Chains A and B, each alone.
Chain A
Amino acid sequence: MTTHYEVDRSPLIAEHARLIGAATATVADPQVRHRGTFGGALAHADPAGDLLAPALAVEAEMVIAGPDGRRTVPAAEFFVDYFTTALAADEILVEIRLPKLTGWGAHYEKFNRVAQAWSIVAVGAAVRVEGDTIAQARVGLTNMASTPVRATAVENALVGQPATVESIRAAAEHAAEGTSPGTDSNADADYRQHLARVLTGRALVAAAGG
């Protein structure tokens, strides 16, 4: 029962899981962050929720408890569909394990029309820069399908590249690959794919810059 507020203020998150902290800081307003929980947001599995894609990108693991004991499910298998997770009706999420990405740069770029609104599209990026080169990269997309999406084509295009705006922009062109975004009053699918490319570039530039 860790609230968004607790995640936001945690020195451990700030040191080892910056992307989760950055995304949490964009959730709604302080009142909501004081009541809503990290586990509740993941169990709810709203594809517009801001914590799913970062959890997927950093390869979080969900510890699930039920009548037969405990099991651990990787984020990639936890999110099944719209508002649907690997949790069975008689199970609860009791722990979220975050791998340490210590020293990585991270940024969560959220696009919405008014403050405190849900993401139309958002992108979470974490990168490890070695010298002038991108050694590792993780990119997760919010609201680009019925589940969060990992932008693996972008990640693959980045590794080994110089940490420059040009190489990041080129890699970000792959951001919409493998996505199947929906259409609503804010955005149709084409526009969402455009946003994914632009926001991925912005998120990565910010993450690589610090």
Chain B
Amino acid sequence: MDDVGKVVNPLIVEGQVHGGLAQGIAQALYEGATYDENGTLTTGTFADYLLPSAADLPHFDTDRTETPATTNPLGVKGVGEAGTIASTPAVVNSVLDATRHLGVSDIEMPLTPMRVWAAVHSGQSAAGGGLGSIDASGGAR
């Protein structure tokens, strides 16, 4: 849900939001530049530095309100990063919310499957319980 002020070209606005969502989700789950101990980039190809394609992303249902800006004659606002800004924390916070009862309080981005697995397992051992023995209060810490 966005408000980009007066919409001049709806297709471009829609495309900007989709691209922004993809980039934001990618920051949460896929993209990360890493270096080895010699300072050499270890994510120098798109086989290592992962960019999602349409196949890796959900379907987007977008919506907007249209409140014209009062600071310019067209009534327009920016749209470039509208999708990006909220999507990264939305994804990361949902994962943290889903794993909080296992004792997980933070996972470094990008949230790779291995990082989530490791966080869940260290939370589990810290809590001394199994994945199936979660107390009703939701606090396994």
A binding-site residues for B, Cβ under 8 Å = 111, 113-118, 120, 185-188, 191, 194
Residue of chain B at shortest CB distance from A113? B50
List 24 A-B residue pairs with CB atoms under 8 Å apart, sorted by A's residue number. Answer: A113-B30, A113-B50, A113-B112, A113-B113, A114-B30, A114-B50, A114-B51, A114-B53, A114-B56, A115-B53, A115-B56, A116-B53, A117-B47, A118-B47, A185-B34, A185-B42, A185-B43, A185-B48, A187-B113, A188-B114, A191-B113, A191-B114, A191-B117, A194-B117
Q: Which of A115, A186, A187 contacts B55 (CB 8 A)?
A: A115
Total residues of chain B contacting the partner, CB 8 A: 17
Instruction: Report the separation of the CA atoms of residues A113 and B29 in the bound assembly, to the nearest whole angstrom.
Output: 9
Which chain B positions have C-beta within 8 A of A116?
Answer: 53, 55
Which chain A positions have C-beta within 8 A of B52?
Answer: 114
By secondary structure, the B interface counts as loop
Min distance, Cβ A201 to any Cβ of chain B, angstroms = 15
Instruction: Report the separation of the CA atoms of residues A187 and B118 in the bound assembly, to the nearest whole angstrom.
Output: 11
Min distance, Cβ A19 to any Cβ of chain B, angstroms = 24
B binding-site residues for A, Cβ under 8 Å = 30, 34, 42-43, 47-48, 50-53, 55-56, 112-114, 117-118
Q: Which of A113, A120, A187 has the most CB of B within 10 A?
A: A113
Min distance, Cβ A189 to any Cβ of chain B, angstroms = 11
Contact in complex: B112, A186 (CB < 8 Å): yes
Residue of chain B at shortest CB distance from A115? B55
Min distance, Cβ B46 to any Cβ of chain A, angstroms = 10
Which chain B positions have C-beta within 8 A of A111?
Answer: 113
Instruction: Report the separation of the CA atoms of residues A3 and B16 in the bound assembly, to the nearest whole angstrom.
Output: 39
Instruction: Report the separation of the CA atoms of residues A79 and B103 in the bound assembly, to the nearest whole angstrom.
Output: 44
Q: Which of A114, A116, A187, A194 has the most CB of B within 10 A?
A: A114
Q: Which of A113, A186, A191 contacts B118 (CB 8 A)?
A: A191
Min distance, Cβ B131 to any Cβ of chain A, angstroms = 13
Which chain B positions have C-beta within 8 A of A115?
Answer: 53, 55-56
Min distance, Cβ B38 to any Cβ of chain A, angstroms = 16
Instruction: Report the separation of the CA atoms of residues A113 and B55 in the bound assembly, to the nearest whole angstrom.
Output: 11
A117-B117 contact in complex given A185-B43, A186-B112, C-beta closer than 8 Å:
no
Instruction: Report the separation of the CA atoms of residues A135 and B60 in the bound assembly, to the nearest whole angstrom.
Output: 46
Which chain A positions have C-beta within 8 A of B56?
Answer: 114-115
Instruction: Report the separation of the CA atoms of residues A114 and B43 in the bound assembly, to the nearest whole angstrom.
Output: 15
Instruction: Report the separation of the CA atoms of residues A194 and B47 in the bound assembly, to the nearest whole angstrom.
Output: 23
Which chain A positions have C-beta within 8 A of B42?
Answer: 185
